[in-house]
């Protein structure tokens, strides 16, 4: 149960920092999770894995409900090019950062994909806010 408290505390700090610096929340949440793992503040337990899966399920479900392909129908080719470019850049940046932090290549790939996916969710949220 203390694992959930540590995760919630890290998420609360990320939320406060995002609000104070006026930055998107999702990348800061990903970075706080990486920080918890890097410093060994959370242990791999079944409860921890279940909490992560539940959080990921809610995140992806909410992202799916916000996507509407009809909104980008006229700019579909540009949206695909920009989306793929942004995703690849964040995968490269995330992989580089993970390797610099001492993670192995497989863990680095997971971190990179999480960072790229979260940045995509940030872009979707920004587009929704700007209509």
List, for residues 47-90, the tens digit of each pLDDT value.
767 777 777 777 667 666 666 667 667 767 777 787 788 888 88
Say which residue, 115 or 9, is predicted with more confidence: 9
Mean pLDDT (whole number) for 89-106: 86
pLDDT at 16: 92
Contacts 24+ apart (CB under 8 A), 37-43: 38/101, 38/102, 38/103, 41/6, 41/10, 42/3, 42/6, 42/7, 43/3
Do the Cβ atoms of 40 and 50 come closer than 8 Å?
no
pLDDT at 20: 92
pLDDT at 36: 83
């Amino acid at each position: 149960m203390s694992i959930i408290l540590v995760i919630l505390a890290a998420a609360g700090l990320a939320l406060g920092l995002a609000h104070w610096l006026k930055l998107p929340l999702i990348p800061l949440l990903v970075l706080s999770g990486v920080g918890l793992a890097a410093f060994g503040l959370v242990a791999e337990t079944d409860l921890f894995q279940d909490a992560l899966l539940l959080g990921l399920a809610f995140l992806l479900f909410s992202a799916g409900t916000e996507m509407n392909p009809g909104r980008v129908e006229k700019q579909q080719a540009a949206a695909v090019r920009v989306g793929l470019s942004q995703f690849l850049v964040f995968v490269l940046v995330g992989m580089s950062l993970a390797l610099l932090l001492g993670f192995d290549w497989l863990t680095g790939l997971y971190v990179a994909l999480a960072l790229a996916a979260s940045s995509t969710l940030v872009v979707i949220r920004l587009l929704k806010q700007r209509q």
